[in-house]
Amino acid sequence: MNYKVIIRPGEVSGYVVECPAIPGCVSQGATVEEAMANIEDAIKGCLEVLNERAERDKLKHKEDIIREVVV
């Protein structure tokens, strides 16, 4: 799956990059290329945490079912 990101100059130096589709998913780098590599890791980490939370909070009702979907 592809995600759009926003890259902007950092306040002091480098670049800040965020993924608006995943609130709070932000990274940075000294160069645009480094920032892009870092946001890729950040997106993977954010999605992993979201999946862990879903697992932890699953099955609140006995009728609940959990399935995986590949996008």
Residue pointed to by tokens 């998913």? 25
pLDDT level of residue 42 (50, 70, 90 thresholds): very high
Average pLDDT rounded to a whole number, residues 18-34: 97
| Residue 1, token pair as written in the block | 């799956």
pLDDT level of residue 37 (50, 70, 90 thresholds): very high
Quote the pLDDT of residue 64: 74
> Which residues does residue 15 pair with via DSSP β-bridges, in sequence order?
9, 29
What is the reported pTM? 0.80
The arrangement of strands across the sheet holding 6-9 comes to 6-9, 15-18, 26-29
Confirm if 40 and 28 have CB atoms less than 8 A apart. no
In the chain, domain spans? 6-56
E-only strand ranges, 10-68: 15-18, 26-29
Q: How far apart are alpha carbons 44 and 2 in whole angstroms?
A: 12
